[in-house]
Amino acid sequence: MFTTPNIQAALKGITLRVEETDDETRRVADCKFLVQPFSVALARELDPAVVQHCFELEDETAGEAGWVPRPEIADVLFAIGIPLQRLAVRRAPDEAQPATVLPVVGIRKVRVLRPKPDKPTLGASFVASFDVDGQMDELGILIRLWGRWTYLTFEPLQRRLPLAPGVVRAVRDLASAVGTHNGRCPECRADVPATATVCPHCAADLKPAISSVTLTQTRDGKPLGEPVTIDAEAATRIRKSADRILTGSGKQARA
């Protein structure tokens, strides 16, 4: 996403929705922001393809100022894969502490548009989505900022947690071994009783539940820190987090 801090953007709307997956129901807030003006520098941070599609080089000697919006651009939707972000929202660019911080935000529906058809200046809109549960205070702050200018700072989660997909899958698979089989056969995906040891639909063996797993970090064969125990409740949270990291959409991935 953008690397420039405190990008000026208007909060144009907030929509609440319910997202259902195989084993959970999530309440999600979709916040629509409009970045204006949208410069070639911000376009380059977003994706080089946005520069080529929306701007043209008019004066090679003028540097960034030599790039101008293409006159034919009216409203373009871009399919850009943006990783999950940490989003800090300020009321003013010089505000020491942000009004709120959203630790995990999904970005989608990125558009470049011309807010005023008779003006050459471009804008960029996008939808920032986050889980409402546990973040009602953050939602309340954003509602009070609705219709006002805000100043946004993005930080990709990969920079804070550089986990390769293979590592995330391994952690998810380890967490999946803890607790019951969650009422679903891993082979045919049919619903089964939580206490079943054999699937009544495909006769697959259902592994007995493991109550917990204890992990110890080591270096050169020596333990580092205290062991960490993952119980059934923690395993469920880990599986859900891993699925969201792997998909980037909040929907549960199937192994």
- Ranges of the chain with pLDDT below 50: 159-162, 249-255
- Measured CA to CA, the distance from residue 245 to residue 255 in angstroms comes to 14
Which pLDDT tens digit goes with each residue over 140-185?
999 999 999 999 999 987 544 445 666 677 777 777 666 656 677 7
Alpha-carbon separation of residue 157 from 1, 63, 87, 126 (angstroms):
11, 32, 10, 18
Residue 102 · residue 153 · CB < 8 Å: no
Cα 226 to its chain centre, rounded Å, is 31
- Measured CA to CA, the distance from residue 58 to residue 69 in angstroms comes to 10
Question: Tell me, what's the pLDDT at 5?
Answer: 95
Question: Tell me, what's the pLDDT at 209?
Answer: 58
What pTM, to 2 d.p., does this model score?
0.62
Question: Tell me, what's the pLDDT at 102?
Answer: 94
